[in-house]
Amino acid sequence: MKKSLFAIAAVTAFAGAAQAQSSVTVYGILDVGIAGGNYRNQEATAVTKGTAFGVAQSPQTTSRLGFRGTEDLGGGLNAFFTVEIGLTPDATSVISTSATSNRQSFVGLRQKGVGSVALGTQYTPIHEAVGRTDPGGQNNLVGSVIYTVSGQAGVNTGAGGASQTIPASYGLQNGDSYTVRQSNAITLKSENISGFTARGFLSARNIDQTQTITASGATAGAGGQNAATGYGLGLDYAFKQFYVTANYQYFTDKNNTVAQGTSTIPAITLTGDGQGSLAGQNVNDAQMYAAATYDFGILKAFVNYIDRKATSTVNSAFFQRYTAQQIGVTAPITKTVNVWANVGTGSYESYGQDLPSANVNAYQLGANYILSKRTNLYAIYGNAEQSVAKNSTSLNSTARNTSYNVNNYAVGVRHTF
């Protein structure tokens, strides 16, 4: 009898301890389809053409596996966490080995009626805003001048098993229209107050490298500071069927690979779609995004604008800039079928880095067939064109008289869990 009582007490104590722990939810997306497309690159002295077709992973939505949890600390205060990694379901290794395998990893506190604070690798305000205002849902095919990607087609089961991409050259390089996520980040998010919601983040990674001073007073080793900082702000307003968002984020990177004031101008290298732990090497990187939506019932209309300019910290005359604007619609055709379309234009300009200036145009059409709350079939077609690119006005060591035409299509199935 005593043993039974002890057993009951032990089970009760364990249950109480379990209830005190965080409630954890496992979630994810698996997306696999058949994708294809073709491209035509008109260069100064030659024309390059290519086609691709085959099974591709994540055409509509990047596959992922995540864990999120919360714990009630009392008084309206909650602790929370999220860990989310990328998946490659059509590869030899299902866990992504790319630089963006860590999609999100953060922990924080949320106070009811006030907002939340979180620390870790997190999405930037612009990426979150694009997610709410992109007609195509940030899919991975060409056709958007806001969420720029190089597209997917065919099969490549080499290192990492990544799907083959269709070459494209528009936007601030492929996938570089804005920084998606930032490590070393502290984010603040308010609750909805009279329709307004505010977001912000700060990030910093500063390292002072040591220098060796010899007995004679000479200095050995590069030494100096490597500094990577950033901040961002976002403000949303929603009223009935109307929604508008405005966002700004700024990154600075300085390192000792090129001393400030030297006559050697380093190339402006930018990290792009999802590679946002650094803005680039020795650059100031300013990004702005604004968008509005209105739900008419029979359709939902979208207007988007993005601007990104990266300037060398060594010489402010050297820069890269990308601007684009896009309109789009989504519409339910039946209870189980919805469609979307978007069309946009943009321009890319640079100075001093042997890169061209050009105009871009893109459009995309897509449809979903809803099988259940968790599963849908999809079909997507996208096209992107770049005008004949002009040489930059300095450091033009190679001819860059090129134009591009790229199309991309996919049909597949997506399951969320």
Q: What is the pLDDT of residue 355?
A: 54
pLDDT band at 171 (very low <50, low <70, confident <90, very high): very low
- Walk me through the domains of the chain, giving residue ranges and CATH numbers: 37-50+102-148+169-416 (2.40.160.10)
pLDDT band at 271 (very low <50, low <70, confident <90, very high): very low
Q: How confident is the model at residue 55 (pLDDT cuts 50, 70, 90)?
A: confident
pTM score, whole prediction: 0.82
Rounded to an integer, the average pLDDT of 95-115 is 87
**Predicted confidence band of residue 93 (pLDDT cuts 50, 70, 90):** confident
As a three-state string, the secondary structure of the chain is CHHHHHHHHHHHHHHHHHHHCCEEEEEEEEEEEEEEEEEEEECCCCEEEEEEEEEEECCCCCCEEEEEEEEEEECCEEEEEEEEEEECCCCCCCECCCCCCEEEEEEEEEECCCEEEEEEEEECHHHHHHHHHCCCCCCCCCCCCCCCCCCCCCCCCCHHHCCCCCCCCCCCCCCCCCCCEEEEEEEEEECCECCEEEEEEEEEEEEEECCEECCCCCEECCCEEEEEEEEEEEEEEEECCEEEEEEEEEEEEECCCCCCCCCCCCCCCECCCCCCCCCECCEEEEEEEEEEEEECCCCEEEEEEEEEEEEECCCCCCEEEEEEEEEEEEEECCCCEEEEEEEEEEEEEEECCCCCEEEEEEEEEEEEEECCCCEEEEEEEEEEEECCCECCCCCCCCCCCCEEEEEEEEEEEEEEC
Q: What is the mean pLDDT of the chain?
A: 78
Question: Mean per-residue pLDDT for 385-409?
Answer: 62
What's the average model confidence in pLDDT over 287-304? 97
Residue percentage of the chain with pLDDT more than 90: 46
